[in-house]
Amino acid sequence: MIVAERKPMEEILQMIAPYKKVLLAGCATCVAICWTGGEKEVGILASQLRLARGKEGSKIDTVEATVERQCEKEMVEELRDKVKGVEAVLSLACGAGIQTLAEVFEDKPVFPAVNTTFLGSPEGEGVWLENCGACGDCFLDRTGGICPMVRCAKGILNGPCGGTRKGGKCEIDPDKDCGWVLIYRRLEKQGRLDLMRKYYPPKNFRAVKRPGKMKAIKA
Amino acid sequence: MNGEIIAFCCEHSAYAAADAAGKQGLHSPEKLRVIRVPCAGRVDIIHMLKALEEGAAAVLVLGCEDGLCQHLTGNVRAKERVKYSGMLLTEVGIDGGRVGMFNLAANAPHKFIKIVNEVNERIKERER
């Protein structure tokens, strides 16, 4: 899932300073799961903005709406009536959602209330860990399902760097597990340590051109 | 809610204490508004923020003593939410102390009165 974090409040207040009526648009998918941009967070942020602006003496009128997935134009269209009545939109979705909203409603300023940070999954309650770099050239088949591009601080592809600390921690960041220790242990469990003896050539970073585009053929 | 102290009271503890205080004729602040909830854990962040938006002077959440919540962790969750609400208020330049969590038993009407009167005094101090 995509993980995002809410922007600092000063930054958000500065963005919407000139506007008196703003729509706060949430997304019920990834950002809702990481407690950043779902319906609940939209309500909380809207309340904070009303309190902050009320204190400044420049009241703000807020409209709240959350769609299932803000990266889908058909779903964003549902907001059309609400967008019509406001001066600007503050989106709590990930970058893909914010941009979809901005594209569908080109005549309205759309602002990001969050910073999209990484692709990851929950490690524990309230903790998400990055585990995919979207490199476009996945080789998780060789590493027991653990990505060294992201989990290794150096992003190296052919085993540990030799600097692994005691306890299997990273040389660069002692709070981080050495990605290659994790890979070794996983392959050991699966009886596939022979994979670590193979040499893999440098990654093809041209696999994904930016902006990435994929055309799916429906069966 | 102009200047009121909003007190969300768990019906198993604080509400019973507030009720007993009333029956015993103990004096509570004039602007106190008690709202009965099935558990302190029922109170969410948005309830506290909206109460302040509507003009409340303070929002209190009163629940069962530690380890005695009828719903097991309602009072623990409430405590975390009150703490977080305080942080959200501080973020927008509002005194985070305007929300507070308190624990008491059903048979503690004097404690209830002490809590709400102390909060009332702090509000008066702030207004001076």
SS3 track for B37-101:
ECCHHHCCHHHHHHHHHCCCCEEEEEECCCCCCCCCCHHHHHHHHHHHHHHHHHHCCCCHHHEEE
How many Å from the N-terminal Cα to the C-terminal Cα in chain B? 20
What range does the domain containing A33 cover?
Answer: 2-117
For B:3-42, CB contacts with A below 8 A are none
The sign one gets for the Cα dihedral A167, A170, A173, A177 is negative
Domain boundary among A87, A117, A147: A117
DSSP letter for A186, please: H
Alpha carbon distance A128, A51 (integer Å): 30
- Distance from the Cα of residue B59 to its chain's centroid: 5
Alpha carbon distance A158, A118 (integer Å): 24
Q: Which residue, chain included where needed, has tokens 């907001």?
A: A79
Find which of A5, A9, A51 to mutate to test the B interface (most B CBs within 10 Å of its CB).
A51
Q: Which pLDDT score, from 0 to 100, does residue A215 have?
A: 72
Q: Which residue, chain included where needed, has tokens 């696999």?
A: A207
According to DSSP, the residues that pair with B1 across neighbouring strands are none
Do A111 and A6 fall into the same domain?
yes
Q: Which pLDDT score, from 0 to 100, does residue A208 have?
A: 67
How many domains would you assign to chain A? 2
pLDDT tens digit sequence for A199-214: 988 887 776 677 777 7
From residue A138, alpha-carbon distances to A104, A160, A203, B9 in Å are 33, 19, 10, 54
Q: What are phi and psi of A156, to 5 degrees?
A: -85, 155
CB contact under 8 A, A51 and B52: yes
A123 found inside a domain: no
A189 found inside a domain: yes
Do A84 and A190 fall into the same domain?
no
CB contact under 8 A, A55 and B53: no
pLDDT tens digit sequence for A100-153: 999 999 999 999 999 999 999 998 888 999 999 988 888 899 999 999 999 999
Q: Which residue, chain included where needed, has tokens 């969590």?
A: B101
Do A148 and A78 fall into the same domain?
no
Do A94 and A144 fall into the same domain?
no
CB neighbour class for A162 (10 Å; exposed up to 12, middle 13-18, buried from 19): exposed
Sketch out chain B's domains with CATH numbers. 5-116 (3.40.1400)
- Tell me the shortest Cα–Cα distance from A192 to chain B, in angstroms: 45
Indicate the pLDDT class of residue B29, thresholds 50, 70 and 90: very high
- Tell me the shortest Cα–Cα distance from B89 to chain A, in angstroms: 7
CB neighbour class for A1 (10 Å; exposed up to 12, middle 13-18, buried from 19): middle
Question: In this model, does residue A174 exceed pLDDT 70?
Answer: yes
ipTM: 0.90
Do A99 and A150 fall into the same domain?
no
Do A101 and A140 fall into the same domain?
no
A36 found inside a domain: yes
Do A59 and A145 fall into the same domain?
no
A128 found inside a domain: no
Do A89 and A143 fall into the same domain?
no
Q: Share the mean pLDDT of chain A.
A: 93
Q: What is the mean pLDDT of residues A77-84?
A: 96
pLDDT tens digit sequence for A19-72: 999 999 999 999 999 999 999 999 999 999 999 999 999 999 999 999 999 999
Q: Does A44 touch chain B if contact means CB atoms closer than 8 Å?
A: yes
Q: How many CA atoms lie within 13 A of B47 on its CB side?
A: 16
Do A109 and A177 fall into the same domain?
no
A204 found inside a domain: no
A219 found inside a domain: no
A124 found inside a domain: no
Alpha carbon distance A196, A30 (integer Å): 34
Find which of A44, A47, A53 to mutate to test the B interface (most B CBs within 10 Å of its CB).
A47
A203 found inside a domain: no
Do A43 and A102 fall into the same domain?
yes
Do A110 and A168 fall into the same domain?
no
